[in-house]
Structure formats: structure tokens, C-alpha cells
């Protein structure tokens, strides 16, 4: 099923449909746009026909210099079976040759009042967001001190209960149980809740609660960039856990590696406080302050000084 169709652009950007109405359900498969300047000159060898085509002042001014025969031929070549739409910017007049070709091939011709560059920018941002690679992860996403913390772990380990405690402490819930994630940039992961369970938390023994109704609009947010993963696991006495914080674990989601901390769970540990401190410590590390490294360097200096004294 197509993620974006031509009619979505019409609704989103209030575009005027001029001709080719039969093609408004055509799928848009790429966020790349095309300004067919070379094509207007007759060079169609590398014509990216699957892209949305934008005709600005430059293209249409050049088009007016062509002969009547060339005008018909160019527009006929511009309209193909896989072209999702041709958009004319600046509310410029639509050439008759374009409307004729678009009706014949059912290619929607649209018009926008925006300048070409601004229109291209808006379209690219919208399409990149809609066509970004996506996945879904079982976990809870919370905004803690501005850090998007994805809490993962086996079912029943206490993810939702920890999220509830964090919300009570003033942080914001993004998603519980299922987190939809899209990769908007090379290393940018944005998480949100499916529409069906937005603002809802499932607490065993209580059932489903609506966080926004209970705690107010300030306790939730629609989406958040994921920058830290907390993996909750039942305490294993045989396992050696990181006690200094020097080990940098990563978890790969789609094509992005995200820093991951493994936090063992056992009675008496306040997980909400631990996650708060982890978020604050993560922010400090990004500012260049690493407590574990500072401690290790001090320890190395002390050992070195002791060895010199003994010598």
C-alpha cells in the first residue's frame, strides 16, 4: 500500500487541481523532486519520470520560446504513466499543451501560489517524513529532561510502571507498549505512538489509564527523537554489570546505532531515579563531561605517582 499519493499533496498544500484528475491516486515513491529544465530543451535520456515535477518561472519562460510543434512534443514526453504530478509554482498560467497531454495520460497538473524554491522545500520535508524507513519496537518512549529515552526489556519487567513513575516526576510520555520509529535522517530516529494507543499506559493490576486525562497535557507529547536506550533486565547474580560506565553499548534500529545502557532490575532499586540520572549523565557526556573517564584518569595518575614514590 502506497504511503503517499498525489491527492495527499493536494490536501496538505491546498494545491489547485487544473487537469488530469483521474491520476490523483497515483503513488509517490520518492522524496526527490525534479525541475525538468534539460527536458524542456529536449534531453529526456535521464528523465526521472517517477518524481514529482515542478515547473517554475525559468522552465515556463524557456518553454514559451519553443515552436508549437516542440511545445506539444515536450509536454507529451513530460507526462508519462508513472509521473505522479506536475506542479506549476507562482500561480503562473498553465500552457494548453500541458493540460492536453495531462488529460490524455491522466497526469495531475497542480498549481501553487508559492515560489518555486519554497514549494520545493515544503514538498521535500513532507515527503521525506512520510517516506522515511519505519519500524516498530516493543517498549516505552519517554521524554526525560529533553532526552528521548526508549525503555526496552522483556514483558513484565516493569517498563510501563517505570514510565508511570517518570510521568509522576514531571516527565512526558510519548508511547507505551508499541513505539513506531521512523528514520528521518542518516542518524535521526523519531518515535511516536500508534493512533490507537496514544496517551495510554497499561499497568498490570490497574488496566489501561489515560495519562493526559490523569496528569494533564503537559505529561504527554506526540513524538520525540530517540537518543538513549535503557534495557531493563532481571538481575542475574552470575552476570558482570558495568560499574564504571566506560563501556559504550549500542543498539541498531533501522540504520542508526543508538547508545544503550543495561540496567538490572531487582527489589529496592528505584528505576525512575536511575533513568533520570542516566538521562542527565548522557547530556553531560554530550557536553564533554564524562565522570567515568575523569575518575579513570585520576586513578591512573594516583597509581603513576605511587609507582614513582616507590621507585
Could you say which DSSP state residue 27 is in?
B
> Is 96 annotated as ligand-binding?
no
Give Cα 207 to chain centroid, integer Å.
Answer: 31
Q: Choose the catalytic residue: 65, 239, 243, 252.
A: 243
Measured at the CA of 50, the angle between CA 48 and CA 53, to 5 degrees, comes to: 70
> Is 158 annotated as ligand-binding?
yes
Q: Choose the catalytic residue: 177, 199, 224, 231.
A: 177
Integer angstrom CA distances of residue 227 from 242, 272, 296 = 20, 17, 25
CA distance 108 to 118: 21
CA distance 293 to 150: 25
> Is 57 annotated as ligand-binding?
no
Residue 138 known to be catalytic: yes
Q: Minimal CA–CA distance to 15: which of 88, 83, 75? A: 88
Q: Choose the catalytic residue: 3, 96, 138, 298.
A: 138
> Is 139 annotated as ligand-binding?
no
> Is 153 annotated as ligand-binding?
yes
> Is 205 annotated as ligand-binding?
no
Largest Cα–Cα separation, the chain: 96
> Is 180 annotated as ligand-binding?
no
> Is 148 annotated as ligand-binding?
no
Provide the residue count of the chain: 311
Residue 159 known to be catalytic: yes
Other CB atoms within a 10 A radius of the CB of residue 248 amount to 11
Measured at the CA of 171, the angle between CA 165 and CA 173, to 5 degrees, comes to: 85
> Is 89 annotated as ligand-binding?
no
Residue 14 known to be catalytic: no
Residue 185 known to be catalytic: no
Binding residues: 153-160, 202
**What are the residue numbers of the active site?**
138, 159, 177, 243
Binding residues for Mg(2+): 160, 202
Amino acid at each position: 500500500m502506497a504511503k503517499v499519493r498525489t491527492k495527499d499533496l493536494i490536501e496538505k498544500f491546498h494545491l489547485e487541481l487544473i487537469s488530469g484528475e483521474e491520476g490523483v491516486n497515483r503513488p509517490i515513491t520518492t522524496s526527490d523532486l525534479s525541475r525538468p529544465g534539460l527536458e524542456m530543451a529536449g534531453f529526456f535520456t535521464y528523465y526521472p519520470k517517477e518524481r514529482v515535477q515542478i515547473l517554475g518561472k525559468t522552465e515556463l519562460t524557456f518553454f514559451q520560446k519553443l515552436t508549437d510543434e516542440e511545445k506539444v512534443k515536450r509536454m507529451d514526453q513530460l507526462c508519462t504513466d508513472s509521473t505522479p504530478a506536475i506542479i506549476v509554482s507562482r500561480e503562473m498560467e498553465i500552457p494548453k499543451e500541458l493540460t492536453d497531454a495531462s488529460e490524455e495520460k491522466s497526469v495531475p497538473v497542480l498549481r501553487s501560489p508559492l515560489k518555486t524554491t519554497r514549494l520545493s522545500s515544503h514538498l521535500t520535508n513532507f515527503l521525506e517524513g512520510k517516506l522515511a524507513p519505519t519500524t516498530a519496537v516493543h517498549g516505552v518512549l519517554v521524554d526525560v529532561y529533553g532526552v528521548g529515552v526508549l525503555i526496552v526489556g522483556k514483558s513484565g519487567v516493569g517498563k510501563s510502571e517505570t514510565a508511570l513513575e517518570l510521568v509522576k516526576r514531571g516527565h512526558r510520555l510519548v508511547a507505551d507498549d508499541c513505539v513506531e520509529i521512523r528514520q528521518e535522517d542518516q542518524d535521526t530516529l523519531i518515535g511516536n505512538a500508534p493512533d490507537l494507543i496514544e496517551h495510554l499506559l497499561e499497568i498490570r493490576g490497574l488496566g489501561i489509564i489515560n495519562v493526559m486525562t490523569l496528569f494533564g497535557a503537559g505529561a504527554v507529547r506526540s513524538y520525540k527523537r530517540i537518543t538513549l536506550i535503557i534495557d531493563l533486565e532481571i538481575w542475574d547474580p552470575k552476570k558482570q554489570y558495568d560499574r564504571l560506565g566506560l563501556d559504550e553499548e549500542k543498539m541498531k534500529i533501522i540504520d542508526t546505532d543508538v547508545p544503550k545502557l543495561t540496567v538490572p532490575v531487582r527489589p529496592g532499586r528505584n528505576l525512575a531515579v536511575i533513568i533520570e540520572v542516566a538521562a542527565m549523565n548522557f547530556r553531560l557526556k554530550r557536553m564533554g563531561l564524562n565522570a567515568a573517564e575523569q575518575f579513570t584518569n585520576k586513578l591512573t595518575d594516583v597509581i603513576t605517582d605511587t609507582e614513582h614514590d616507590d621507585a
